[in-house]
Amino acid sequence: MQGLEKKIKDRAIELLESGKVDGIIGWEKGQFIYDPTPAVFTKETGLDNFCYNNFCGANLSKYLVGKITSDKKYAVLLKPCDTYSMNQLITEHRVNRDNIYIIGVGCEGHLDVEKIKRNGISGITGVSVDGENVNVGTIYGESTIAKSDVLLGKCEVCRGNAHKISDELIGEELQTPEASDRFEMVNKLEAMTAEERFAFWKGELSRCIRCNACRNACPACTCRVCVFDNGRSGIDSKANASEFEEQMFHIIRAFHVSARCTDCGECSRVCPENIPLHLLNRKYVKDINEFYGEYQAGEEADQRNPLVNFGDKDIDPTVISDKEGN
């Protein structure tokens, strides 16, 4: 990983100095090894604080939305899964492809520091992935832990190491983690009775503190003015008018991103209350697959998603009742 970090850094410096791009969107070292933050690097800032390690799970594609009217050109570092979001943003005209230089970077799965800590490991100073294991260096010495136990939730269902869009690749040979069935939990939820499911979501969503982190991190949530911030929409007042707060907020949000959500998992990654928000979106992904055929948002740019498309192969409305067994 350190080798790859250096390669990316050298290339970034080259791009900046040649004037090919005006800025690089990447990750900046945090206070600890496990808290890198997305940042914009320019000639002025230099790349001294740049980092790319096993804690760079953040999806950087959304950081370009604000640059759409800028005449500056930015390079952005995208892991394979992040490129789906980039395609979706291009499809929706929320970024200006002409002003973006996409560097696809290799990935071997990113780690969830909370999971590592939950295994009783603290004082983390460094990590290195060694096949199926992760060696964690701490101020108390070195520990080894199974990689599959400490992967970010979104990496557990990794969709492989292919970058769906890029201008150049660095370190693409890295092996991404083996994926498990991403609909496993959705199937479980579907098997529940309505009451059980309601109880499940009530338990999860009642922890929501409406910090808006999910919305702000979500690459599909790019509305200029969100309906929840628009007093005139009348929707903000409806969001919490229920017996457990915020259920409507998350359901409305899931509806708004349905068929546009690439299942990147950022919503759940950033949730400070560890609410499995991605399951709402994944339920829609599964329904869309079943109703309209396999569809992956962001598989390529300029796709037309099944919810804004009509065709004579479209499912008949009766399928809804059929599916419920009526």
Partner 1 sequence: MLKIGVFVCWCGSNIAATVDIDQVVAAAKLQPGVVMATGYQYMCSENGQSLMRKAVEEYKLDGVVICACSPRMHEATFRKNAQRVGLNPFMVEIANIREHCSWIHKDKEQGTIKAIALANAAIAKVSLNAPLISGESSVTKRALVIGGGIAGLQTALDIAEAGFEVDVVERQATIGGNMAKIDKTFPTLDCAACILTPKMVDAASHENIELITYSEVESVKGFVGSFKATIRKKARYVNEKTCTGCGLCMSKCPSKKSKNEFNLGLDNRTSIFIPFAQAIPNVAVIDPQSCIKLTRDKCGLCQSVCEVKAIDFTMQDEIIEREYGAIVVATGFKPIEVDAFDELGYTQNKDVITSLELERLMNAAGPTGGKLVKVSDGSHPTDITFIQCVGSRDCTSRGKEYCSKICCMYTCKHAMLIRDKYPDINVNVFYIDVRTPGKNYDEFYRRAVEDFGVNYIKGQVGKVYAEDGKLIVQGSDLITNEQIFIKSDMVVLASAIEPDPSAKKVASMLTASIDTNNFLTEAHAKLRPVESPTAGIFLSGVCQGPKDIPETVAQAGAAASKVIGLLVKNKLVTSPCIATTDELLCSGCSNCFNICPYGAIGYEDKLINDHGIRETRRIAVVNPALCQGCGACSVACPSGAMDLLGYTNKQIMAEVDAICKR
Q: Which is nearer to partner 1, 92 or 172 (CB)?
A: 92
Q: Which is nearer to partner 1, 48 or 324 (CB)?
A: 324
Burial of residue 41, with CB atoms counted within 10 A of its CB: 0-12 exposed, 13-18 middle, 19 or more buried: buried
Residues at the interface with partner 1 (CB under 8 A):
69, 91-94, 222-227, 230, 232-235, 256-257, 304-305, 307-312, 314, 316, 318
Could you tell me the smallest distance in angstroms from the CB atom of residue 320 to partner 1? 13
- Residue 210's SS3 state is coil
Q: What are phi and psi of 176, to 5 degrees?
A: -80, 160
Could you tell me the smallest distance in angstroms from the CB atom of residue 222 to partner 1? 6
Q: Which is nearer to partner 1, 25 or 259 (CB)?
A: 259
CB atoms within 10 A of CB 86: 29
CA-CA-CA-CA torsion sign (219, 68, 35, 176)? positive
Q: Which is nearer to partner 1, 102 or 259 (CB)?
A: 259
Could you tell me the smallest distance in angstroms from the CB atom of residue 297 to partner 1? 12
Could you tell me the smallest distance in angstroms from the CB atom of residue 74 to partner 1? 18
Q: Which is nearer to partner 1, 51 or 285 (CB)?
A: 285
Could you tell me the smallest distance in angstroms from the CB atom of residue 224 to partner 1? 5
Q: In this structure, what token pair is assigned to residue 14?
A: 């080259």
Cβ(93)–Cβ(105) under 8 Å?
A: no
Q: Which is nearer to partner 1, 18 or 318 (CB)?
A: 318
Could you tell me the smallest distance in angstroms from the CB atom of residue 300 to partner 1? 15
* Bridge partner residues of 297 (DSSP): none
Q: Residues of 228-245 as b/e, b for ≥16 C-beta within 10 angstroms?
A: beeeeeebeeebeeeebb
Q: How far apart are CA 155 and CA 223, in angstroms?
A: 27
